[in-house]
Amino acid sequence: MRRAATILMCMMALAFVASGLLFAITPAPAEDLPWQIAQLAEPSASTDGLAAIYLRPQQPAMWLMLGGLWIALIIFAARRFWPSETRPDLELADLALLIGALAAGSLWPWVAVGAPLVGFLLCVLMLLALIAAARRINSDGRLGRHPLIGIFAGWATIVTFAAFGSFLSDVTPIPVELAALVSAVLTCAAAMATQMRIPSNPSYTITVMFGLLATAATTIESHPPIAVIAVLSMAALTFLLVRVTT
């Protein structure tokens, strides 16, 4: 059973990478959606919100972050596909949480095109599944210490609250800068709370900080206030990184 679940997890990791790559390079993702979902899209719906910064990179720093996540996932899946005596299969519950996170992560960008709220909820599900996998008491602790979980959960934290900011700016008349501020405050609060629960995995905070740095690099010309907010948020997380690494 665990071997079958491991193979399914590896397949979902490849599906996550393929979905993310296709979304990143496709200029009009709504055209690739099933008609049942595509018809939900309204003329006012736009993927050019805060979340699009991370899903459809325009700068090398953001491509580096997304590409690093994909490579880490592929390596993790390959190592799990060929277990050894020193690297046995993960517990079934751990695998189920990873499968759920990867499935939600594969679907949410596409669903969010026509149904932003549903997409955001899928993003939240992805983040919660990753945190639960890292925090599982009955696990052997491998996932909680594994750098991939830190990288994946860090990326998921950033895009979850960016998706919330996108949803907020779509359904309310507030400017995108205010939505970015709300998103940044929530990201910092969630990052601090999550890192305290996985203290042995500093790659989580490092990923969040790198994501904020990439955000600043991406928006410095088009939306300078968002870049400033990202830099201030990164500074606020610096003391947290120092605490977990000393």
C-alpha 136 chain-centroid distance: 20
Q: What is the rounded CA–CA span in Å between residue 141 and residue 213? A: 30
Q: How confident is the model at residue 244 (pLDDT cuts 50, 70, 90)?
A: low
pLDDT at 193 over 60: yes
Distant-in-sequence, close-in-space partners of 78: CB < 8 Å, separation ≥ 6: 10
What is the pLDDT confidence band of residue 141, given thresholds at 50, 70 and 90? low
Per-residue pLDDT tens over the stretch 89-115: 788 888 999 999 999 999 998 888 778
87, β-bridge pairs:
84
Flag whether 56 is in a domain.
yes
How many structural domains comprise the chain? Answer: 1
pLDDT at 30: 46
Domain that holds residue 53: 2-20+47-245
Report if residue 41 sits inside a domain. Answer: no
For residue 139, being part of any structural domain is answered with: yes
pLDDT given at position 98: 94
Residue 38: inside a domain: no
The predicted model gives 109-137 an average pLDDT of 87
Separation CA 241–CA 122 (nearest Å): 28
Q: Judge whether residue 1 has pLDDT over 90.
A: no
173 located within any domain: yes
Separation of alpha carbons 233 and 187, rounded Å: 8
- Please report whether residue 137 resides in a domain: yes
The predicted-structure confidence for 204-241, as pLDDT tens digits, reads as follows 988 998 888 888 887 788 778 888 888 888 887 887 67
Express each pLDDT in 163-172 by its tens digit: 888 888 778 8
Q: Quick check: 9 pLDDT over 70?
A: yes
Asked if residue 29 belongs to a domain, the reply is: no
Residue 191 domain flag: yes
Instruction: Tell me what pLDDT residue 28 has.
Output: 53
Model pLDDT, residue 46: 43
